[in-house]
Chains A and B, each alone.
Chain A
Amino acid sequence: MTPFSRRKWTITLLFACAILLGHALPAAAMHISEGILPFPWALFWFCAAAPFVALGLRQLKKSAGADLSFKPLAGFMAAVVFIISCIPVPVPIVGVCAHPCGTAISGVLLGPAVSVVVAAVALLIQALFLAHGGLTTLGANLVSMGIVGSFTGFFVFRLLTALGARLSVAGFVAGILADWCTYLTTAFIMALGLKGSAPFAPLFLKIAAAFIPTQLPLGILEGAITAGMLVLLAKKRPDLLLKMKVLRAREATQ
């Protein structure tokens, strides 16, 4: 890799970020908005998310101490998750904007526990300064985007690579399923919190069905982003992917 081409890749990445953020407008996210969940449910989801955050912080400290390149990778992924989960992508047929989550790629690269911490930071900044999500619904949003997105992405990727799938295919499927599971969890959380005395299933199905037109294509975009980043990192830093156990030695030398 010549210095010129390295610079070219960096400039391309920064240019892409700038273009993506140039289109970003407020109020275009999947996050559960401030105050929508009743207080007991908001508290319940905070309590559900807390052990995962604690585990992630412990894992982050341990991994950063053991490997010097872990911190830059965690910083890079925090910025990427923040950017990706802010971008309102227009879905032309539906006429609605939605966004990918970014937690699939961070779950695969950093491990699901550290990815939960990364998502928590991104969601907190978005709730405080960008009116995306909310402080009362931070726990619920963290469960859907951070925990379910990261763990689904991680386990699907590991399962597919164990079955012999190529890096790009495993990343693509992990990205799609992480996105869809995130939105299914959002539907689950909302249905539980808003059903009142009505039955759970009809409201859950109604919310899940309302997400389908935007999230079917957005899930595919998330899969493409996940696969693209994994392929790019495999090209630029195969040693890093080996260390993170994303690639096995046999695959890296192929």
Chain B
Amino acid sequence: MKKRRGKAGRIVAAACLGLLVVLIVAPLFAAGARAEGPPEKKSWQGVDEAVVEKIAREQGRKPWPPVLFRTDLGDLPLLMFLLAGTVAGFAAGYYWRKLLEGRKK
């Protein structure tokens, strides 16, 4: 039983490590592509722009500006994402801890 758990833990740890490496390295490729590509072409768009909004425009529907949140406010979107990330990360860690405490009880 213990041996199986140890193996599973190692697999998960290796998967997490692999994911972290990909996520750290991938933006470097993205930065390189941005530097080499033509400045007017927007690289590494989200699928919503590259597929959803593009096809909607082709069909004659334009996306509306967001109701509350504007994306043309400099670094404010970044701040919002950081805040959301902090809150969500805290919530995930908090409930994860509560789940583990539940086991102890």
Contact = CB atoms under 8 A, between A and B. Distances in A.
A241 to B, nearest CB: 11
A201 interface: no
A128 B69 contact: yes
Contact of A29 (B8, B46, B60, B67): B46
A199 interface: no
A34 B67 contact: yes
Nearest to B102: A69
Nearest to B86: A21
A76 B95 CA distance: 5
Contacts of B93: 10, 13-14, 17
B20 A17 contact: no
Given A24-B85, A32-B52, A79-B92, A231 B47 contact: no
Max chain A C-beta neighbours (<10 A), residue from B4, B47, B95 = B47
A90 B47 contact: no
A68 B67 CA distance: 38
B91 A134 contact: no
Contacts, number: 235
A86 interface: yes
A34 B63 contact: yes
B98 to A, nearest CB: 4
A95 B100 contact: no
Determine the interface band of chain A, counting residues with CB < 8 A from chain B: 35 or more
Interface residues of B, number: 67
A27 interface: yes
A30 B49 CA distance: 9
Contacts of B45: 27-28, 96-97
A90 B82 contact: no
Interface in B26-83: 26-27, 29-30, 33, 43-53, 55-56, 59-71, 77-78, 80-82
Contacts of A89: 23, 26
Interface string A175-207: 000000000001000100011100000010011
B78 to A, nearest CB: 8
Given A35-B64, A129-B80, A203 B59 contact: yes
A86 B87 CA distance: 13
A95 B91 contact: no
A237 interface: yes
B67 A134 contact: yes
Contact of A90 (B20, B44, B86, B100): B44
Given A17-B89, A82-B88, A12 B16 contact: yes
A88 B71 CA distance: 16
B8 A235 contact: yes
A79 B91 contact: yes
A33 interface: yes
A18 B85 contact: yes
18 contacts: A10-B93, A19-B24, A21-B85, A25-B78, A27-B45, A28-B44, A30-B48, A31-B52, A33-B52, A33-B63, A72-B98, A75-B95, A79-B92, A134-B66, A190-B55, A203-B59, A221-B19, A235-B12
For the complex of A and B, the 6 pairs showing the least CB-CB separation, nearest first, are A35-B64, A21-B85, A28-B46, A76-B95, A79-B92, A72-B98
Given A83-B92, A90-B26, 9 more contacts: A26-B81, A34-B65, A75-B94, A83-B89, A86-B84, A96-B45, A128-B69, A194-B56, A240-B103
